[in-house]
Structure 1
Amino acid sequence: MASAGNAQTKLNHVVETIAEAVSSEVCSIYLRREGVLELYATRGLNQEAVHVTKLAFGEGLTGYIAKNVETLNLDEAASHPDFQYRPETGEEKFHSFAGVPIIRNQQAVGVLCAQHIEPRKYSEEEIESFQTAAMVLSELISNAELIDVESVDTTEARNNGADRLSGLQLVKGKASGFAVFHQPRVKIEHTVAEDTEAERHRVYSAFDKMRDQIDQMTNQAEFGVGGEHEEVLQTYKMFAYDEGWSRRINEAIDSGLTAEAAIERVQQHTRMRMRQIDDPLLAERMHDLEDLANRLLRIVSGQMGTAATMGLRQDTILVARNLGPAELLEYDRRRLKGVVLEEGSLTAHVTIIARAMDIPILGQVKNVRQIVRENDHLLLNVDDNALFVRPSPSMEDAFETQIELTQKKRAAYTELKDKEPVTKDGTRITLNINAGLRDDMGMLNLTGADGIGLFRTEFQFLVAAKMPGRSGQLRFYRDVLDAAGDKPVIFRTVDIGGDKPLPYFQASEVKEENPAMGWRALRIGLERDALMKVQARSLIEAAAGRKLNVMFPMIAEPWEFDEAKAVFEKQLEFLRSRKKQVPLSIRYGAMLEVPALAECLDQMASRLDFLSIGTNDLTQFLFAADRSNPKLAERFDWLSPAILRFIGRVSRQADDLGIELSVCGEMGGRPLDALALLGLGIKRLSITPASVGPIKAMVRSLDLTAVKNHLQTLLSDPPSDPRTALRQWAKQQHIDLD
């Protein structure tokens, strides 16, 4: 590289040197030019084929390597299904074949390959040498401007077409934007080291820093003992201290690479091995090593920040392996249009936060970080479980039309903001919204909702790095009440544990096989009473001179409600004794999530000021179906006769006992499901802000008496498909479900 002469001369010298070093009759370099792979230099093939032989991406073994960014090592080239013979090269007499991609910024810009007349596989050391040479070549051809990067990008899109990836629907919605990686890939600008010892020192320093980070994560007491997180951290620790891994990186530095290039070279080798692994458990461990190598690369390059710290410049679809709620909140909501995760679950914290922020998320999209490139145009349609990568212009136009239709519907719903949700036969339905963030409060006026029917106080805990103190909680609740003005806010006491663990708070000393039915919500609050006392006092002080509405989650028996209420009453008494201003009144309510509470409503009538059915947890408890399990997520329908009959019975009993009843769950935010709830006698709903418009439109289009009569008929002799039957009836009645 440092010698005089033009790039062609240097490449001619390179193929001679490599061929001699590995005792191969052939060594060739193909470069990506004008969208194809052009034979640019060779030793052993016909020289007349140079600049004449050209292969499309995916054509032959060389095209296969470039398209898949994958290494091949074959003792018999003709045995590979992609083998293709080009007569002008004179390669018919060669049997063995090895090739590695020449990579620049995660893209194949060429191929380095060797051939041998005798059938043999090249050794692992020889393959690693090829990869090192390919990294050096990438810098040479880039500096010599032998490839056109813009041509590479457009050709990649044209050759591959639009990739359609699927995943798990976490938060519904559609979005168009450009791919931004939560942890941006490190661009390796220089591959050749000027000072080998200096590079070695940089790697040693990075290893020390990385090991310290892993040790800190492993030793943090708040992670608790046992469980999957401990296994993950122990695997990370094992790799972090693996001498073989660090030795291979040092060997790459010895070959003349910079620290960054050496780590990338070893990563390439790891990726090659990953593609050969059939064992899913071992493959997952190799993914852990890939993540750790990315961490080491960011440390050694000094590029430790996330995309949020650098700011978003355009409409963005964020791509990540996983994401925490606090990390999501760091992004500019005006520019962040959607999120795609390689992992993710329905009950993950980030899903809960994103739903509140109305940001669509598609989770469990396999290998998305390998398929998507930075700044790729993406079309995200979570409603159809689809992500389109590098779409065609016609696809973009069709998608834009869909988004415009959605926006028109939202505009139509906005016009309903100041109109009452009254049925055609004159029944007023109360429509509240669910909230959990300070920013959510602005949706009260935007939607015209009656109030906050469920304020999830745990959101403040989920996004915090440590347990929020009394003063922080007090300020937060006061801000919420100030923003609500005259509209009521129902605060649900903190619902942590189970599917919402806090990294800084160990809820249970034992590993729970089914945490959704375990030590969570009020059960934690009553045992760790300091947590509940601080929250009670904060809420009471924040509501001084106003009305306070408090709701307790996960109540199964009357005594739990009594104990929770006693905590608040004791704090109220304490503040009064100190001559502090207190609320004008406190209303106490409970969430009906545990079916057992429905059997105690007669005992609860004199205790409760209101009752709210939490359909999300109620459904999983009634059907014994964990809603975080993808196999069960769609198995049980909210319009199942079992659910409807249960809610109908609770509704009638609450009416007889004079208990104010509402529903706060996703079921109430879906027009058809909400229609069923109204038919069962429910007159108060608390739903997501985005659902207020559609539900209000539905309410204003129906005759409630007719709906009640039809529900009674439907449940007396349920059809095999209640959802379809109810939809058909609603359509005949011209009820607005769209």
Structure 2
Amino acid sequence: MPESASASAREILTGLHAVMASRGSAQAKLDRVVDLIAEAMASEVCSIYVLKEGALELYATHGLNKEAVHQTRLDMGEGLVGTIAEQMLILNLEEASKHPQFAFRPETGEEHFHSFAGVPIVRHDVPIGVVTVQHEDSRKYLDVEIEALQTVAMVLSELLANAGIADGTKGRARNTGEQQLAGLKLVTGMARGRAVFHQPKVTVEHTVAEDTEAERARVYQAFRRMREQIDNMTRDAEFGVHGEHEEVLETYKMFAYDEGWSRRINEAIDSGLTAEAAIERVQQRTRTRMQEIDDPLLKERMHDLEDLSNRLLRIVAGKSGTAAQQGLQEDTVLIARNLGPADLLDYDRRRLKAVVLQEGSLTAHVTIVARAMGVPMVGKIEEIRHIAADGDQILVDGDSGTITVRPSDTSRDRFDKAMATSNERRAEFAAQRDKPAETKDGARVELMVNAGLADDADQLESSGAEGIGLFRTEFQFLVAATLPGRESQYKLYKQVLQLAGDKPVVFRTLDIGGDKALPYLDEKDEAENPAMGWRALRLSLDRQALMKAQARALLEAAAGRHLKVMFPMVSEPWEYEEARALFEDQVAWLRKRKRFLPTVIEYGAMLEVPALAEMLDQLLPRCDFISIGTNDLTQFLFAADRGDPRLADRYDWLSPAILRFLKRVIDACNAHETPLRICGEMGGRTLEAMALVGMGLRRFSITPAAVGPIKAMIRSLDASEIESRMTELLADPPRDMRRVLKEWAQAHEIVLD
């Protein structure tokens, strides 16, 4: 290749522009293109493969046997070319035949060539071809040569799209016909609506610039706007009492002002690309580097730059707003790669019916918020952006973790019937709202709900719950861009108590850190298992200013009322004592200043760490109540990450190991007459709740949607019968406890959801 790689790229691009503007067939143009690239890169071979009917067809070549054109075909994943297309990666090989994916095709006459480089031709995030170069010498191509080849691939994408000769480039074929996709169940429920993308798609339609200086001016203007946005976000942030800096914003700011990044975009414009194409070109370079990085911290930083590139691209293209800012016009299924909880709360709840994520996890903040909002959500649908288009109808079944894009009439009718049945069942549960949660033999069960938003308290009456057994105070922190101050916390707690009326509310102090990391708190890098790391009460006792501010806000908000406070992730009694003492210090501080205080204050502990169960004889005399968080407790008992989908169904809540552990805790609390409540997801499942009642548990805090089904189950149950059966089963556990309990429930006509 000539000494000046950028000059060569410019030369190629100029030639490609002339080819694209000329008359002639697509075949004639591609034949000219391979000659042009080979000459400019001083390469003995240049070939273009086009994806047609699911296979990569040799469409044009300079240097290989011409007879192989339209004859040589490789499946996706087959050979070097198929590997490049399938994995959308770059290959740069000194000796092609030594690569494990090398597949020799004798008709091409390529046995004389040793070095090989290839890059994918991508359109709408989908591979539609591959461009390759080869040389007789055994050498690796220079980085600048590979970058020039990537630039060429961008222009070829436009040429192939205009010609309509590659799969997926003739109109919008992918948007016709029904597609059923399976993913990860995040939030249960069924819904239907039209597809809306959270971030407007930016497709680079024109790659070759007409006026280089005009494109440069557009990029400069976009950089100014982006930097203003980042500066405003940084300036408006409140960084807490210790002056912690907001790491994510500071990283964004660092990248936004990075001269190297802007210089590379300018160089891409110099080569003849449009502003959008230049940004995407540099973004491709970033993605390539990310594939080569093993360090997770560096990868995270590269992800930051990727996000910032997307922001810049949207500004240049005039598509900087989200769908929430534009407003939803009809019942909507929102599609996104991922979402933050604040993003979700921006949407009109009347129109937002469901969410589909390319990524997503069971423990993600947005999943917790969506569950609280009652919005069905399915994750891990990686291909959704390639299959669905804006406006497509989508059916979402959060109960099975499946979605249907562009459903047929048959699928739509079947889904509507299933949803109607589900709605009828919910109506039956709602009809029991005012009936007591009492077993047939008179055992009274308390049903409360888990909440985290003020609106949840407003719906207490309609749910039929007796109060809020777990108010997750961290929600306010998760959805905020900056650290909420004491005053904003006070306003939220006051509002929740007012909406709850005379019903009790149990406030859990902050459960942040670990897998609920807040970007505006400057925490050291977490360990590989954040759920067992510096989080919840551990973090609060370390950052006492945070806990003091929350204590003051809770005490002042509950003035003249009964306040219930619960500390999360208590591992040993001294942690509970230290947290309680911190609250009591704030009580003394307020009393000294003659402030109005709560009439009664109760303190409780969450039992999530198994070690605490061994210290109940020490803890219970000092504690007003206990709540069991079954989500964390289960993963700690089984050493199984609940966020890992591979383990989602591996360890059952009805495992004898879990049940025996819980029975021990229930018996200890009952013997000490300390109120015990289950507030994890286990309590919101009818079969599991039946087992818990059979072990003597009488207090539950569950999702609002679970109140009806659990109440119906309780009202169909004889407590003494299930207690007797559970005693037998725990003494001699069957291998499949779930099957045995289900058969018992069916034989006794227990209402299960």
Per the normalisation by structure 2, the TM-score is 0.76
CA–CA distance in 1 between the matches of 2:749 and 2:689?
Answer: 16
CA–CA distance in 2 between the matches of 1:143 and 1:313?
Answer: 32
Q: Compared with structure 1, are the counterparts of its residues 183 and 704 closer, same or farther at alpha carbon in structure 2 (3 Å cutoff)? A: same
CA–CA distance in 1 between the matches of 2:537 and 2:293?
Answer: 45
Check the 8 A contact 1:70/1:101 in 2, yes or no. Answer: yes
CA–CA distance in 2 between the matches of 1:436 and 1:430?
Answer: 20
* 1:706 alignment partner, SS class: helix
Distance apart, 1:725 and its partner CA: 0.8
CA–CA distance in 2 between the matches of 1:132 and 1:351?
Answer: 39
Percentage identity across paired residues of the two chains = 55
Check the 8 A contact 2:90/2:118 in 1, yes or no. Answer: yes
Match of 2:494 in 1: 478
CA–CA distance in 2 between the matches of 1:4 and 1:652?
Answer: 79
Q: Compared with structure 1, are the counterparts of its residues 701 and 5 closer, same or farther at alpha carbon in structure 2 (3 Å cutoff)? A: closer
Query: Does 2:394 align with 1:378?
Result: yes
Query: Does 2:507 align with 1:488?
Result: no
Query: Does 2:580 align with 1:543?
Result: no
Distance apart, 1:412 and its partner CA: 1.8
Q: Compared with structure 1, are the counterparts of its residues 368 and 284 closer, same or farther at alpha carbon in structure 2 (3 Å cutoff)? A: farther
Check the 8 A contact 2:19/2:32 in 1, yes or no. Answer: no
* 1:152 alignment partner, SS class: coil
Q: Compared with structure 1, are the counterparts of its residues 178 and 98 closer, same or farther at alpha carbon in structure 2 (3 Å cutoff)? A: farther
CA–CA distance in 1 between the matches of 2:510 and 2:579?
Answer: 12
Query: What is the 5 A alignment of 1:233-632?
Result: 249-250=265-266, 252-264=268-280, 291=307, 293-366=309-382, 368-370=384-386, 372-506=388-522, 511-512=526-527, 514-632=529-647
Deviates more, 1:318-327 or 1:6-15: 6-15
Letter in 2 for 1:571: Q
CA–CA distance in 2 between the matches of 1:239 and 1:82?
Answer: 46
Deviates more, 1:394-403 or 1:211-220: 211-220
Distance apart, 1:190 and its partner CA: 4.9
* 1:651 alignment partner, SS class: helix
The Cα RMSD (Å) is 5.5
Check the 8 A contact 1:360/1:382 in 2, yes or no. Answer: yes
* 1:611 alignment partner, SS class: strand
Distance apart, 1:531 and its partner CA: 2.2
* 1:551 alignment partner, SS class: strand
Check the 8 A contact 1:215/1:237 in 2, yes or no. Answer: no
Query: Does 2:167 align with 1:153?
Result: no
Q: Compared with structure 1, are the counterparts of its residues 9 and 313 closer, same or farther at alpha carbon in structure 2 (3 Å cutoff)? A: same
Distance apart, 1:491 and its partner CA: 1.2
Letter in 2 for 1:203: V
Q: Compared with structure 1, are the counterparts of its residues 101 and 372 closer, same or farther at alpha carbon in structure 2 (3 Å cutoff)? A: farther
**Residue 645 (structure 1) aligned to one of 620, 645, 660:** 660
CA–CA distance in 2 between the matches of 1:560 and 1:266?
Answer: 50
**Residue 678 (structure 2) aligned to one of 657, 663, 679:** 663
Check the 8 A contact 2:48/2:132 in 1, yes or no. Answer: no
Deviations 1:3-62 (A, max 9, x none): 9999769997897687667579999999999x9x9xx9999xxxxxxxxx9x9x99x999
Match of 2:65 in 1: none
Query: What is the 5 A alignment of 1:668-679?
Result: 668-679=683-694
Check the 8 A contact 1:16/1:27 in 2, yes or no. Answer: no
Check the 8 A contact 1:65/1:111 in 2, yes or no. Answer: no
Match of 2:66 in 1: none
Deviates more, 1:258-267 or 1:439-448: 258-267
Per the normalisation by structure 1, the TM-score is 0.78
CA–CA distance in 2 between the matches of 1:82 and 1:393?
Answer: 48
CA–CA distance in 1 between the matches of 2:120 and 2:530?
Answer: 47
Deviations 1:690-724 (A, max 9, x none): 11111011011111110101001111110011111
Instruction: Structure 2: state its 5+ residue gaps.
Output: 1-16, 63-70, 241-245
Instruction: Structure 1: state its 5+ residue gaps.
Output: 44-52, 86-90, 224-228
Distance apart, 1:101 and its partner CA: 9.4
Distance apart, 1:201 and its partner CA: 4.0
Deviations 1:251-302 (A, max 9, x none): 5534543211333456678889999x99999997997776554344224335
* 1:724 alignment partner, SS class: helix
Distance apart, 1:382 and its partner CA: 3.8
CA–CA distance in 2 between the matches of 1:264 and 1:221?
Answer: 34
Check the 8 A contact 1:217/1:233 in 2, yes or no. Answer: no
CA–CA distance in 1 between the matches of 2:164 and 2:611?
Answer: 73
Letter in 2 for 1:725: V
Match of 1:164 in 2: 181
Deviates more, 1:198-207 or 1:521-530: 198-207
* 1:570 alignment partner, SS class: helix
Match of 1:49 in 2: none
Distance apart, 1:241 and its partner CA: 5.8
Letter in 1 for 2:559: A
Match of 2:199 in 1: 183
Aligned residues: 720
CA–CA distance in 2 between the matches of 1:280 and 1:421?
Answer: 53
CA–CA distance in 1 between the matches of 2:577 and 2:120?
Answer: 69
CA–CA distance in 1 between the matches of 2:496 and 2:249?
Answer: 38
Deviations 1:576-605 (A, max 9, x none): 333333222222222222334334444444
Q: Compared with structure 1, are the counterparts of its residues 263 and 572 closer, same or farther at alpha carbon in structure 2 (3 Å cutoff)? A: closer
Match of 1:698 in 2: 713
Query: Does 2:216 align with 1:200?
Result: yes
Deviates more, 1:15-24 or 1:648-657: 15-24
Distance apart, 1:530 and its partner CA: 2.6
CA–CA distance in 2 between the matches of 1:206 and 1:344?
Answer: 30
CA–CA distance in 2 between the matches of 1:397 and 1:98?
Answer: 51
* 2:172 alignment partner, SS class: helix
CA–CA distance in 2 between the matches of 1:557 and 1:66?
Answer: 55
Deviations 1:61-96 (A, max 9, x none): 9999999999999999xx99999x9xxxxx999x99
Check the 8 A contact 1:222/1:503 in 2, yes or no. Answer: no
Check the 8 A contact 2:231/2:253 in 1, yes or no. Answer: no
Check the 8 A contact 2:239/2:482 in 1, yes or no. Answer: no
CA–CA distance in 2 between the matches of 1:598 and 1:26?
Answer: 71
Letter in 2 for 1:166: G
CA–CA distance in 1 between the matches of 2:611 and 2:481?
Answer: 35
Q: Compared with structure 1, are the counterparts of its residues 370 and 212 closer, same or farther at alpha carbon in structure 2 (3 Å cutoff)? A: farther
Deviations 1:164-207 (A, max 9, x none): 3434x333333333333332222446545342123234435656
Letter in 2 for 1:157: T
